[in-house]
Amino acid sequence: MTLNIYIGTEDNQLIPQKVLMYSIRKFAKGKVNLIPCKQEVERVGGTNFGFVRFFVPSYNKFKGIAVYIDADQLVFDDINKLAETLDDKHTIALVNNAEGNFGKKPVGKINQTSVMVLNCEKLKDWMPDILFNNVVSNKAELLNGQIHYKNFMKLDWFDQSQIQSIDPAWNHFNIVKKDTKLTHFSHVRSQPWKNPSHPLCDFWREWLTEAIRNREVGRFELLLEILKGHVDKRFLRCLL
């Protein structure tokens, strides 16, 4: 059986998205279908693909188990193991006791929806046409029935008893430890392909080089992304 993995992405994340996809394929023991998805509805806050994760049940035709992840990540274990963590008692599995940092601050102990396993059959009420109607900017004054973007993204509105807490190693923020299964370069301004001062910049470059060597990332497309300013010019050395 093939596992569908939906990747929230945008144009300037093309190279990290492809390096992520390479890392998933490298460790996957079973069949995986990697599906990059871009947001088409109006952005309210956060990244330009924030709402994509809530489209997953409809993308998956409200059937079976699917995985959602952001494009700015790397995976170091069989992602099928992540999918298998979701038990029959819950609807969503995610990390809510995360380790690592966001910028210079520790990651908050909240529902981290950037990595989720979803039972799509139980989420038939996640209809994209109406799901975001009452979501407003974090700075907006709330009217009756509205919810701020940050609270929506944390699933504050969802039945918490249906959320299964999983091993934090499946969503480590800007760190790589011995037990890390997935690392998330979550702070946009300091992402290693943009900011060489990121402590994992050399680590990510090794993954980029490996992805190029295995023809998962084309040298010409990397050059184009560098010229567009989406990847720092110091990664030109990876073309050699």
The bridge status of strand 112-119 relative to strand 65-70 is antiparallel
Give the pLDDT of residue 199. 92
- For 230, the token pair is 């989406």
Give the pLDDT of residue 210. 97
Instruction: Please list, in sequence order, all residues whose beta carbon lies within 8 angstroms of the beta carbon of residue 239, skipping any fewer than 6 positions away.
Output: 212, 219, 222, 223
The bridge status of strand 65-70 relative to strand 3-9 is parallel
Q: Beginning with the edge strand found earlier in the chain, give each strand of the sheet holding 73-75 in spatial order.
A: 73-75, 182-184, 172-173
pTM over 0.85: yes
Give the integer Cα–Cα distance in Å for 123 and 126: 6
Give the pLDDT of residue 56. 98
- DSSP character for 178? T
Give the pLDDT of residue 64. 97
Low-confidence ranges of the chain (pLDDT < 70): none
Give the integer Cα–Cα distance in Å for 10 and 84: 28
List helix spans (H) across 40-190.
Answer: 56-59, 79-84, 128-131, 149-153
Give the pLDDT of residue 160. 97
- For 64, the token pair is 């079976």
The bridge status of strand 182-184 relative to strand 73-75 is antiparallel
Give the pLDDT of residue 184. 96
44, 104, 119, 129, 155 from 40: Cα distances, Å: 12, 31, 23, 12, 21
Give the pLDDT of residue 35. 98
Name residue 137's amino acid.
Answer: S
Give the integer Cα–Cα distance in Å for 214 and 205: 14
The enclosing H or E element of 18 equals: helix 14-27
Give the pLDDT of residue 102. 85
